[in-house]
Amino acid sequence: MNESPIRAASVLATGALFVSACAISDKSTEAPQLRAELCDGETTVDLEKTPTTREEGQAVADAMMAAWSAKNPDADWESDVRSRHWIAPAHDNSALLAAGQGSGVPGRAFSERDLLVWKRETERLVVEGARIFHSGDELGSTIAVSCDMCHPDAANTHPETYPKYQVQIGEAVLLRDMVNWCLEHPVRAPRMTEDDPRMRALEAYMIAQRTGTPLSYGKH
């Protein structure tokens, strides 16, 4: 069987899924069937002929992405969460792109691409936090209570005041300790371990929503 990979198209799909290369196999020994395969190794689209123009290539890529999206309906979860909840934007680092910035220092000259990656990856953690914050199921609530029911937009979570002596707990605590208290009591959910990915995302979201507020640990 002859494999003749052809770079047919590359598509930047919504939701930042980047399809970099696709393979079209010409299974001439079995049947005169052209088949394009997506880089997930699973999704394929049958072709009548080899695409020769950009438009034809794009049509193949679109068809494959449509097939992939149908199989992965939650792939665009991030923009889904963003359509529902306000997410404070991460810090604007564009000053780092100013002429001369970092020049001559290895690893300190940043590109727009660097800034884009930082922003996208950082905000994704925050968006994940927003998703969990608003979901009783994700939090493990046994009474269908989620954080946003008392803290819309993470209001009154005041992450900037931790660590502080929490009188009712009787010791100095971190934000995550208060989250665990809330989980056990108002939310009636099991505690999370400190390295639970949900706890990390929740902290990220609460801190992000208070951006611009001065830190004042110990504040009551």
Helix (H) or strand (E) holding 57: helix 54-71
Per CB under 8 A, the segment of 27-35, 51-59, 77-85, 194-202 that binds other proteins is 77-85
Output phi, psi for 75, to 5 deg: -60, -30
Residue type, 26: D
Q: Which of 63, 75, 90, 145 binds other proteins (CB under 8 A)?
A: 145
Piece in contact with other proteins (CB under 8 A), picked from 22-30, 68-76, 179-187, 191-199: 179-187
Q: Which two tokens stand for residue 8?
A: 């047919």
DSSP per position, 154-204: GTT--GGG-SEEETTTTEEE-HHHHHHHHHHTTS------TT-HHHHHHHH
Which residue, 20 or 156, is less far from other proteins as judged by CB? 156
Among 156, 170, 212, 214, binds other proteins (CB under 8 A): 156
| Cα(126)–Cα(140) distance, integer angstroms | 19
Nearest distance from C-beta of residue 80 to other proteins, angstroms: 9
Q: Is 83 in the site for other proteins (CB under 8 A)?
A: yes
158 binds other proteins (CB under 8 A): yes
Q: How many residues bind other proteins (CB under 8 A)?
A: 24
- CB atoms near residue 77 (< 10 Å): 15
Strand extents, DSSP E, 65-106: none
Our finding on whether 186 is near other proteins (CB under 8 A) is yes
How far is it between the farthest Cα atoms of the chain? 77
Selected from 102, 152, 197, 218, the binder of other proteins by CB under 8 A is: 152
Residue 209 Cβ, how far from other proteins at the closest point, in Å?
10
Residues 6+ apart with CB under 8 A from 147: 133, 134, 139, 154, 157, 182, 187, 202
Q: Of 71, 84, 108, 120, which one interacts with other proteins (CB under 8 A)?
A: 84
In 10 A of CB 184, how many CB atoms? 12
Identify which of residues 37 and 78 has a Cβ nearer to other proteins in the complex.
Answer: 78
Residue 150 touches other proteins, criterion: CB under 8 A:
yes
Verify binding: residue 161, other proteins, rule CB under 8 A.
yes
What mask of x and - would describe binding to other proteins in positions 200 to 219, judged by CB under 8 A? -------------------x
Footprint of other proteins on residues 20-49 (CB under 8 A)?
A: none
List Cβ neighbours of 67 (8 Å cut-off, separation of 6 or more). 38, 43, 45
Q: Which residues bind other proteins (CB under 8 A)?
A: 83-86, 134, 143-145, 148-153, 155-156, 158, 161, 168, 181-182, 185-186, 219
